[in-house]
Homo-oligomer: A and B are copies of this chain.
Amino acid sequence: MSELAERLGHRGDARLVIVNCDDLGTCHAHNAGIYDALRDGLATSATLMLPAPWSREAASRYRGEDVGVHLTLNSEWDLYRWAPITHAPSLVDGDGGFPRTVQEVWDHGDLDEVRRELRMQVERAVLWGFDVTHLDSHMAVLHQRPEFFDVYLDLAVDFGLPVRLPGAEHERAIGFPFRRLAAEEGVLAPDHLVALGNTNTPAMFERALHNLEPGVTEIVAHPAVDTPELRALAPDWMHRVEDRRLLVADEDIRRLLERAGVTLIGYRELRELQRGA
């Protein structure tokens, strides 16, 4: 039974799903694919990667969809780079952008610079007109170390936003009670987290739906259109193209969702609950 589902006005055993598209703003192929998925497909929210080169274009297409901020401290693709939008010497790798690995961020990131950079990412999204619905963390860098989690939680409190978190079953492995800490501050998070990257064939998606637990599950996808740009930059471009096909064009998936008794929701519902409660 899910207390969060009940607080959102559903039965405690309801299965509510947020389909979030990460990486909005990275490149043309993602901007096109994600807005397709939001407008003509099954996606219910997306998160904007503010420091990435196409973020301004993503802002120009925004029409009030559920869009949060994909807080970013890494530039992980080998040959296509983005960099901090604030002065943050500890957050660049000397090769034109943020470090490529999370370990580099944990080892060398100055927490004051992290805090200032991430706050500016949220503030610029607001400045560009986004009605920011939530926060999540690119490459999960912010919810695996207590000192980085503090920054994440402070931003969620200050801006009144819900966040993505790993499921409770991961708390022991990660080593600190991130879900309890968030709850104590009144910050909401979906109950469960599933990456569509591991389930992006119709059969695997079907199994994921059958395995859905009661409560709110966030499913994470990376839909992109198939272009020469995408193929040149993303080693896993095929998964991204397949995500778009599943979310936009696959009639079987729509029927599966209906048969599974799933209700699609956005992050905005969580945000309103968090702010209004």
Which residues of A are interface residues toward B (Cβ below 8 A)? 27-29, 32, 50-51, 53-57, 60, 78-83, 85, 87, 89, 95-96, 124, 225, 227-229, 232-233
Contacts and interface: CB of A to CB of B under 8 A. Distances in A.
Given A83-B83, A87-B87, A78 B53 contact: no
A93 to B, nearest CB: 11
20 contacts: A27-B229, A28-B229, A28-B233, A29-B228, A32-B232, A50-B96, A53-B80, A55-B81, A56-B78, A56-B79, A56-B80, A56-B81, A56-B95, A57-B79, A57-B80, A60-B78, A83-B85, A85-B96, A227-B227, A227-B228
Closest 9 CB pairs of A and B: A57-B79, A229-B229, A53-B53, A28-B229, A56-B79, A87-B87, A28-B232, A227-B228, A60-B79
Nearest to A26: B53
Contacts of A83: 83, 85
Nearest to A51: B96
Contacts of A81: 53, 55-56
Contacts of A28: 228-229, 232-233
Given A83-B83, A83-B85, A232 B53 contact: no
Contact of A54 (B80, B87, B89, B95): B80
Contacts of A96: 50-51, 55-56, 85, 124
Nearest to A96: B56
A185 B140 CA distance: 53
A57 B227 CA distance: 17
Nearest to A53: B53
Contacts of A27: 229
B29 A229 contact: yes
B232 A57 contact: yes
